[in-house]
Amino acid sequence: MNKADLIDRIASGCGISKTQAASAIDTTVDSITGALKKGDRVALIGFGTFAVSQRKARNGRNPQTGATIKIAARRVAKFTAGADLKKAVNRGK
């Protein structure tokens, strides 16, 4: 499923226009992104939690040359699935 498919599903499921559904999705993504930029967690009960994690600096390898390179420390976004989402995914087999 891509963004256009999601917009179609939300529009038909909620009885709103595709423009309104697209606006809702964009606002949601922008809100989550803004919260993560500030270092906040975003918890959607039953779905999951978005959080920011710190990765330490480490050494890596260039796969073409085999040379060792330094990878700088950085912040990364992480998603942890909630219990209800995990159950739904495992039932879907």
At residue 15, the pLDDT reads 95
Percentage above 90 pLDDT, the chain: 96
Q: Is the pTM of this model over 0.85?
A: no
To the nearest whole percent, how much of the chain has pLDDT over 70? 98
> 88 with 57, same domain?
yes
The encoded tokens of residue 69 equal 């390179």
Whether residue 45 sits in one domain with residue 31: no
Same domain for 55 and 89? yes
- Residue 56 and residue 93 share a domain: yes
Residue 46 and residue 81 in one domain? yes
Are 19 and 47 found together in one domain?
no
pLDDT at residue 93 tops 80: no
Spatial separation of the C-alpha atoms in residues 53 and 37, rounded to whole Å = 11
Q: How many domains does the chain have?
A: 2
Q: Residues near 59 by Cβ (< 8 Å), separated by ≥ 6?
A: 68, 69, 70, 71
Q: Are residues 46 and 88 in the same domain?
A: yes
Give the domain extent around 61: 41-93
According to DSSP, the residues that pair with 61 across neighbouring strands are 68
pLDDT digits (tens, 9 = 90+) for 15-57: 999 999 999 999 999 999 999 999 999 999 999 999 999 999 9
